[in-house]
Amino acid sequence: MGGLDAAFLYGETPAWHMHVSAVMVIDPSTAPGGFSIDRLEQLVVDRLPLVPPFRWKLVESPLGLGRPGWVDADDFDPAHHFRRTVCPPPGGPRELGELIGDLVALKLDRRRPLWEMWFIDGLAGGRAAILYKVHHAIIDGVSGAELATVLLDLQPEPNPPPPEIPETPDTRDRPHVVELLGRGMVYSALTPLRAARYAYQLADWGFTVARFLRHPEPPKVPFQAPRTSFNRAITPGRRVAFTEVPLDDVREIKHAFGVKVNDVVLALCAGTLRRYLERRGELPPEPLIAQVPVSLRGANEKTEIGNRVGAMFATLATDIDDPVERLVAIHRSTRHAKEMRRALDARKIMNLTDTTPPGLIALAARTYTSMGLDGRTPPVFNLIISNGPGPPMPLYTGGARVLSLLPMGPLLYGGGLNITVLSYCGAIHFGFLVCREAVPDPWPLAEGIGDALAELREAMDERTARSRRRARRPARTSSSPARKPKQAAAAPNAPRKSSASGTRDPQAATDSTQRNST
């Protein structure tokens, strides 16, 4: 297991839940014979050969000396991983969100493979929902999306199950405890060597960061975020809200202002966050800082298990009132952050988690949370915003059409708000996962996404209207002769004054030139 994967395992505490989740709202009426938890279980069991991690069981190193690993669970029972519940009436979005928050707050059982699914009945309109929970040590955002494609279909008729289980290097017997202890002792003995290598790489990394920080507009780095009500000691309770906006609207704004789709997504989040904090009288004078996860996977690494993820930090420009100026500031910030991210990736620095025995990571995480340091130390960031592309076409599971995909990531380091964004079938879906004590009601944040989109659309329409008015405005010319004023009779030999009828107004010529160039 990689160092980052082990960190997600050993960094887990009663308040830090290191699983990722996704909710699919489905229409069971499109499934022949209907859809039920039994059908869901049979569908997943039939495709287990295509999803080896769903049979993997955690094997920990004694005393936390070495990294943990995976073995094939010989006592695997699919029935332990499927649950059924009913959404409280009337089964609307708020009732579903509250139920999902309670289910997401439950940690995964480490005695079994680290995943589970909940089938939720009772949604309004005869709909149902499926909640996926998978530990972050197994997947990140990109590999999770690839995993979903294995369990979903492009047509109502389910794909036939695979004929046999493919051989994988991870389907092996559990090592003896003596062997695990020996490996852990060797790994711990080499810790000073790894630490020295990390220190050398960290110095090189520091010189690179210092070079970027000397720019007129330096990229954001950790511990520059102002403290808000989102930043406090995280508790186990969770709340969930979600919303969606048309993808075409986001693309129109992207083209109108010459930015990226991710910039527009960040600007929508910034708009609702600014409004939320302003109404509560908590808007800080400094801009909020978002940690934005970025995939470090190559084109041929999308299906690999584990985490290949880094992070960049971007301003949300919440100190700027004008939505267009805010969007432009976010675009500049993300551009500089990407430049620094590329420079750092070129140096292939080790993670701190690659140098430290997992037992120390677990001890540090528990000390950090038990002492409430996430509420006392400067915030590393204000929130996490993760955005990824999803399938543009409709998907099906067991014949039931998937109506919406609602992703959710974990909460970390005193950041009580995570916004995970995924595009699907012509819409962009926003999932808000919050600490219950930090944000008692997340729905104003979700509903504010639509208001932020309306602000940017209004600014875009005004800009388009001004451009059209300038294009229709006729240019002032001097093609018609000017009327001559009456003059007294001139003397026979007096010189004639030249007519101004052929002289063009310099200002009109300048205006016409500017309009033509526009």
Question: What amino acid positions are annotated as catalytic residues?
Answer: 136
CA angle 209, 214, 220 (to 5 degrees): 55
* Distance from C-alpha of 252 to C-alpha of 456, rounded to nearest angstrom: 10
Q: How does DSSP assign 382-399, residue by residue?
A: SEEEEEE---SS--EETT
Structure tokens at 258: 């010459």
* Distance from C-alpha of 50 to C-alpha of 148, rounded to nearest angstrom: 11
- The answer to whether 508 and 472 are in contact (CB under 8 A) is no
* Distance from C-alpha of 140 to C-alpha of 20, rounded to nearest angstrom: 8
Q: Which of 61, 139, 218 is nearest to 407 (CA)?
A: 139
Beta carbons within 8 Å of 48's beta carbon, 6+ residues apart? 54, 55, 78, 165
Beta carbons within 8 Å of 371's beta carbon, 6+ residues apart? none
* Distance from C-alpha of 509 to C-alpha of 407, rounded to nearest angstrom: 57
Beta strands in 162-306 (DSSP E): 238-246, 289-295
Q: 227-257: buried (b, 16+ CB within 10 Å) or exposed (e) per residue?
A: bbebbbbbbeebbbbbbbbebebbebbbebb
CA 322 to chain centre: 24
Structure tokens at 204: 């090189």
